[in-house]
Amino acid sequence: MRILSEMWLINVVFLLVILEFSSSTDHFPFLTLPEARCPESPDNLDFWHLTDFEADLRCLSPVYVKTKIQPIDLRDKCRRKHADAVSADLNPSEVAYFNKVLESGSEYYMCRVEPYPRVVESYLRNHYPNSLESKSDAKLLSKHLNDYKCIGEGWKLAQPCSNTSIPSCYKVIKNIGNSVANEVPAEFNYCGMVEPNSFMASVHCEDECHFLTKNFPSKVKLGLYLPRYANWNKFSSWQWTDRSPTDYIPWQLGAPAFHHGTERLSQLQRNRELDSVPNGSGSQLLLCKKKAIQKRPTLNIQKAEKKQCREEPPSHWNHRCPSGSDSWRIVESEDGVHCFDFVTAPFPLTPYNFNHKLCSKLHINAKLASFQNDIQLGFVVDFLNHPNAANDIIVGMKCKTAEDCEWLDKTKSKTTFWAPGQPQNSTINHIVKIQNFQFLPPCDRAECKKKVITRPLFVTKPMSTVNRSMKIACRINARPVNSCPPVQKSTGIDTVENTKCKPGWAKMNFCDVTYCYKVVDVPKHKQNYKAVYEDNVCKATSPKAHLASIHCLEEHYYIQGLPSETAIGLHILNKLRKASDKSFDVKDFQWTDGSAFDFVGWNRYSRLYTPESIQEPIFPKRRFAGLKGSIEHFAFNKYDDQRSGWTNINTGLKRVLCKEKAEYTSNLG
């Protein structure tokens, strides 16, 4: 009851603070530039510019005009950008800035809207510490930095942010090789593949920025990135590799900048600010970060009276799409984890047959798809794998009038995806479809004239124009892979320093437990499913070893750093496959060591193998040209170095990854 009471009190205080802000002129009085963001809408092609000239933090966006307009017309144009936007006068510094970044010779007016925190909870914790937690308790931990240490060579121990409970370790590595993780090191966490348990570094306060610029080289890349499949934007979709909140991003003025949509990585400048850089370019130095560990670990005596479920936020790492089809695409965004697929539009399409029953062919709970953000729309459009395919997608929206459009699944629209001039005034018997638009960005530099922004936006079209080649988007909530992921059985005393592995095995602590790992070559006469999976080929190397199971993100990235085409312990029993076509159900996958299936690491977002851009696992019934190997009911760590994530394409059971619990040796001295 004590925990419930505390949470209730936190929510009440949080609500009171928000109400206080909403009734004031200055909604967030202590907001700083790195903590702030502007609203964002895909149909505002000029974007909002976040500026703080003359200590005046504002979001500004231009309205281009050919002649002078009346104040009431300017008000309406601003409100089309955002409901709360008003016209704004610029100070001299702002005039100089916009003269550089906007097209010369164009007449424009400026709209203004108030910035707001990237993460409201973090803002309250930093500026109103008593509203959420005691800041002094967190500060006490920083006095005991000597109680923590970093495991491994070359790491620097620090706790620059007072609102963090555990110190961190930092280290610079060089990005070498030729793989998908080299091209986009933040999205596929190159750090975790080279330095176990680490992620490309996140930044959460000014002191941390100062610490990094003082101790590490300039232009080192950090873990802030924009997913490759997301539509390019300035604020909404950027995220940290370690999945921590994006509550502090010290962009330099004008960043992130647009270069054909490829500027999706970040690097730290000497002035303590971040700049955006294209994928595969810039410095090859990466800054890695991981949690420090206590020198004397705390005992963790667990009672076995009742099964405990591990608490973790929903993500694509612990959710899956419905069974029975491999054509669903799982997408994680700020609005949750959803699965998308397509059905062919009926011909003719009418107001009477355009309903959720169309999607029930895929699953009983599937509905016509709504889209709430750039990640959802960008991922789904990109999966169609053809530059013009997006123009044939119908979304689950209906319009009674131009001012009365709603999603048929009853979700509230958070983002406006309408193309310029849309929706049309006459929308009776119209559908809403996606159409790719190309625009020149507002920029006066010569190189900008060659850039083109491609944005999928919404347009209305008469139902009579729908043809048999068009697709209707469907959506369903992804479901957890395990309704009660078990808490890892860790005593807290078996660490990498007081355990041992056999010679030739790698000792790692993942998911709070220390294990031993070894890649083993399989003799030719044993390169078959029965010998490897049913007879446990690993026991020939060590009697207690099994093919490796994977239970957390840190363990997954370590295994991604091993040689490709290495078999792991994920499989489906032969008896669970259909005799007719050897097909299977994804819910039947299990680990050979008997541990819970509570983590999913399939190749979903790197280069997909099939022409249809199907996320793995692929069903055996699929046939396509150029397939190297066979589609099976067991898994490998990855197909090749140009991809990231598990695969069930079998190119031969040549090697396996074995895993066993490390042997405890003694107490810490």
Give the 3-state DSSP-derived string for 526-554, with helices as H, strands as E and coil as C.
HCCHHHHHHCCHHHHCCCCCEECCCCCHH
Q: Angle at the Cα of 186 (from 590 to 142), degrees rounded to 5?
A: 95
Position 316 scores a pLDDT of 95
Contacts of 374 (CB under 8 A, 6+ apart): 42, 230, 231, 233, 236, 237, 415
Q: What band does 194 get if pLDDT is binned at 50, 70 and 90?
A: very high
pLDDT of residue 579: 67
How far apart are the C-alpha atoms of 511 and 192, rounded to whole Å? 14
Handedness of CA 451, 455, 460, 466 (dihedral sign): positive
Tell me which amino acid residue 367 is: K
Q: Would the pLDDT of 293 be above 80? A: yes
Q: What is the pLDDT of residues 600-625, one digit of tens each?
A: 999 988 887 776 678 899 988 777 76
3-class state of residue 604 by DSSP: coil
Which helix (H) or strand (E) covers residue 368, if one does? strand 367-368
> What number is the average pLDDT over the span 15-33?
61
Spatial contact of 232 and 261, defined as CB atoms under 8 Å apart: yes
Per DSSP, the residues of 628-659 read -SEEEEEEES-SSTT--SBEEEES---EEEEE
Provide mean pLDDT across the span 396-418.
86
Average pLDDT estimate for 153-176: 90
CA distances from 126 to 32, 51, 118, 272, 572 (A): 11, 21, 13, 20, 49
CA 80 to chain centre: 29
Task: Find out whether 404 and 426 touch, Cβ atoms under 8 Å.
Answer: no
User: What letters, b where the CB count within 10 A reaches 16 and e where it falls short, cover 130-169?
Assistant: eebeeeeebeebeeeeeebebbeeebeebbbbbbbeebbb
pLDDT, position 7: 42
pLDDT over threshold 90, residue 503:
yes
pLDDT over 50 at 213, yes or no = yes
> What pLDDT shows up at residue 311?
87
Question: What pLDDT was estimated at residue 560?
Answer: 96
Please count the CA atoms within 13 angstroms of the CA of 456 that sit on its side-chain side: 27
Residue 356: exposure state from Cβ atoms within 10 A (0-12, 13-18, ≥19): middle
The pLDDT value given to residue 450: 58
Please report which confidence band the pLDDT of residue 192 belongs to, taking 50, 70 and 90 as the band edges.
very high
Per-residue pLDDT band for 144 (boundaries 50, 70, 90) equals confident
Look at residue 634 in the predicted model and tell me its pLDDT.
96
- Span 79-136, pLDDT tens digits: 888 889 999 999 999 998 888 877 656 688 999 999 999 999 999 988 887 765 544 4
106 vs 267, residue with greater confidence: 267
**How far is 650 from 663, CA to CA, in rounded Å?**
33
pLDDT of residue 135: 43
More confident residue, 15 or 590: 590
Q: Is 187 exposed, middle or buried (0-12, 13-18, 19+ CB in 10 A)?
A: buried
For residue 103, what pLDDT is reported?
A: 62
- Strands 566-571, 655-661: pairing is parallel
- Ranking 258-272, 301-315, 625-639, 649-663 by mean pLDDT, the lowest is 301-315
Q: State how far the Cα of 628 lies from the Cα of 613, in Å rounded to an integer.
A: 16
pLDDT at residue 382 greater than cutoff 90: no
Joined tokens for residue 57: 């933090």
Which residue do the tokens 């990585």 mark? 265
Taking the C-alpha atoms of residue 633 and residue 575, their distance in angstroms, rounded to an integer, is 11
% of the chain at pLDDT higher than 90: 51
Contact 225, 238 (CB under 8 A): yes
Mean pLDDT over the full length of the chain:
85
What are the pLDDT digits (tens) for 529-555?
999 999 999 999 999 999 999 999 999
Q: Residue 260's pLDDT band (boundaries 50, 70, 90)?
A: low
Given pLDDT bands bounded at 50, 70 and 90, which one contains residue 668?
Answer: very low
Q: Which of 380, 372, 374 is nearest to 335 (CA)?
A: 372
pLDDT band at 661; cut points 50, 70, 90: very high
Four-point Cα dihedral 443, 449, 455, 461, nearest 10: 110
Q: Which amino acid, 569?
A: G
E-state strands within 24-114? 36-37, 49-51, 58-65, 86-88, 107-113
Structure tokens at 355: 């309903």
Name residue, tokens 């990640």.
Answer: 375
SS3 583: coil
Contact assessment for residue 485 and residue 309, using Cβ atoms and an 8 Å cutoff: yes
Quote the pLDDT of residue 107: 81
The region of weakest confidence among 24-33, 461-470, 598-607, 639-648 is 24-33
State the pLDDT at residue 629: 84
| 3 state SS of 586 | helix
Q: How far apart are CA 213 and CA 274, in angstroms?
A: 11
Task: Dump pLDDT digits (tens) for 50-64.
Answer: 999 988 899 999 988
Residue 474 has pLDDT above 90, yes or no: yes
Contact 205, 160 (CB under 8 A): yes
pTM of the model: 0.89
* Confidence check: pLDDT of 284 > 80: yes
Per-residue pLDDT at 320: 95
CB 514 within 8 A of CB 495: yes
Cα separation, 358 vs 647, whole angstroms: 31
Q: What is the DSSP letter of 486?
A: B
Q: Is the pLDDT of residue 502 over 90?
A: yes
Phi/psi for 62 (5° steps) reads -80, 150
CA distance 370 to 401: 18
- Residue 8 pLDDT: 37
pLDDT band at 247 (very low <50, low <70, confident <90, very high): very high
Q: In this prediction, what percent of the chain has a pLDDT beyond 70? A: 86
CA 338 to CA 353: how far, in whole Å?
24
Q: How far is the C-alpha of 616 from the C-alpha of 363, rounded, in Å?
A: 19
Closest C-alpha to 88, from 64, 106, 51, 61: 61
d(CA 298, CA 282): 42
Give the strand pairing for 393-394 and 471-477: parallel
Q: Please tell me which residue, 32 or 427, carries the higher pLDDT value.
A: 32
Residue 29, preceding bond cis, omega within 30 degrees? no
**What type of residue is 623?**
R
Q: Is pLDDT above 60 for 141?
A: no
Is the pLDDT at 304 greater than 70, yes or no? no
